[in-house]
Amino acid sequence: MAFAVPRNLAEHAERRGRLEWIATLPAVIEKLQGLWSLEVGEPFQPGGQTAWVAPASSPHSGEVVLKVAYRHYEAFDEAKGLRAWDGEGTVKLLAAEDLDDTTTALLLERCRPGTLLSSQPDTTQDAVISGLLRRLWRPPPFSEEFRSLQEMCDQWADECRQKIAGHTATTDAGLLRDGIALFRSLPATADRHVLLCTDLHADNVLAAEREPWLVIDPKPYVGDPTYDALQHLLNCEDRLEADPAGLVSRIADLCALDPARLGQWLFARCAVESPDWPELLDVARQLARSVGL
Ligand SMILES: Nc1ncnc2c1ncn2[C@@H]1O[C@H](COP(=O)(O)OP(=O)(O)O)[C@@H](O)[C@H]1O
Ligand SMILES: [Mg+2]
Q: Domain limits at 218?
A: 117-290
Residue type, 35: L
Domain count for the chain, please give it. 2
Residue 49 CA to ligand 2 centre (angstroms): 7
Pocket lining: 194 vs ligand 1, CB cutoff 6 Å? no
CB within 5 A of ion ligand 2: which residues? 48, 204, 217
178 and 62 housed in the same domain: no
Same domain (yes/no): 18, 74? yes
117 CB within 6 A, ligand 1? no
Give the model's pLDDT for residue 293.
Answer: 67
Q: Say yes or no: 149 and 229 in one domain.
A: yes
Which pLDDT score is estimated for 282? 95
Nearest Cα residue to atom 15 of ligand 1? 48
Q: Which of 53, 82, 92, 205 has most ligand 1 atoms within 8 Å of CB, for mutation? A: 53
- 89 and 135 together in one domain: no
Please indicate, yes or no, if residue 1 is contained in any of the structural domains.
no
pLDDT of residue 171: 66
Cβ 219 under 6 angstroms from ligand 1: no
Are residues 212 and 123 part of one domain?
yes
CB 53 within 8 A of CB 164: no
pLDDT of residue 2: 80
Q: Are residues 46 and 131 in the same domain?
A: no
- Please report, as a single letter, which amino acid is at residue 144: E
202 in ligand 1 pocket by Cβ < 6 Å?
no
- 49 Cα nearest atom in ligand 1: 22
Boundary of a domain, candidates 46, 74, 109: 109
pLDDT score for 167: 66
- Catalytic (active site) residue 199: yes
pTM: 0.95
Compute the distance between CA of residue 29 and CA of residue 232 in angstroms, rounded to an integer.
32
Can you give the pLDDT at residue 170?
A: 59
206 shares a domain with 86 = no
Considering the candidates 77, 126, 199, 228, report the single residue annotated as catalytic. 199
Torsion from C-alpha of 236, 227, 158, 12, nearest 10 degrees:
-40
Ligand in nearest proximity to the CA of 90: 1
Q: Could you tell me if residue 80 is inside a domain?
A: yes
Query: Would residue 191 count as lying in a domain?
Result: yes
The answer, yes or no, to whether any atom of ligand 1 lies below 6 A from the CB of 48, is yes
Instruction: Indicate whether 184 belongs to any domain.
Output: yes
Single residue among 78, 109, 140 that ends a domain in this structure: 109
Per-residue pLDDT of the chain (293 residues; tens, 9 = 90+): 689 999 999 999 999 999 999 999 999 999 999 999 999 999 999 999 999 999 999 998 999 999 999 998 889 999 999 999 999 999 999 999 999 999 999 999 999 999 999 999 999 999 999 999 999 999 988 777 999 999 999 999 999 999 988 765 556 888 999 999 999 999 999 999 999 999 999 999 999 999 999 999 999 999 999 999 999 999 999 999 999 999 999 999 999 999 999 999 999 999 999 999 999 999 999 999 876 66
C-alpha distance across the termini of the chain, in Å: 57
DSSP-derived secondary structure for 92-138: PEEEEEE-SSSEEEEEEEPPSS--BGGGS-HHHHHHHHHHHHHHH--
Give the domain CATH number at 55.
Answer: 3.30.200.20
Say if residue 30 is in the same domain as residue 140.
no
Nearest alpha carbon, ligand 1 atom 23: 48
Residue 235 lies in a domain: yes
Pairing of strands 213-215, 221-223: unpaired
Q: Which of 109, 128, 145 is the last residue of a domain?
A: 109
Amino acid 104: pLDDT: 97
DSSP summary character for residue 139:
P
Given this model, what pLDDT does residue 144 score? 74
**In this predicted structure, what is the pLDDT of residue 1?**
60
Same domain, 27 and 79: yes
pLDDT at 268: 97
Non-local (6+) Cβ contacts of 246 within 8 A are 239
Answer yes or no: is the C-beta of 54 below 6 A from any ligand 1 atom.
no
Residues 176 and 221 in one domain: yes
Same domain, 162 and 267: yes
Q: Which residues make Cβ contacts (< 8 Å) with residue 112, sequence separation at least 6?
A: 63, 207, 208, 209
What is the C-alpha to C-alpha distance for residues 17 and 22, in angstroms, rounded to an integer? Answer: 10
Please tell me whether residues 208 and 268 are part of one structural domain: yes
Q: Is residue 182 part of a domain?
A: yes
- Return d(Cα 266, Cα 231) in angstroms, integer: 9
CA distance 30 to 41: 12
Atom of ligand 1 nearest to the CA of 50: 22
- Cα–Cα distance for residue pair 179/176, rounded to 1 Å: 5
Residue 210 belongs to some domain of the structure:
yes
CATH number at residue 226: 3.90.1200.10
- The atom number, within ligand 1, closest to the CA of 111 reads 3
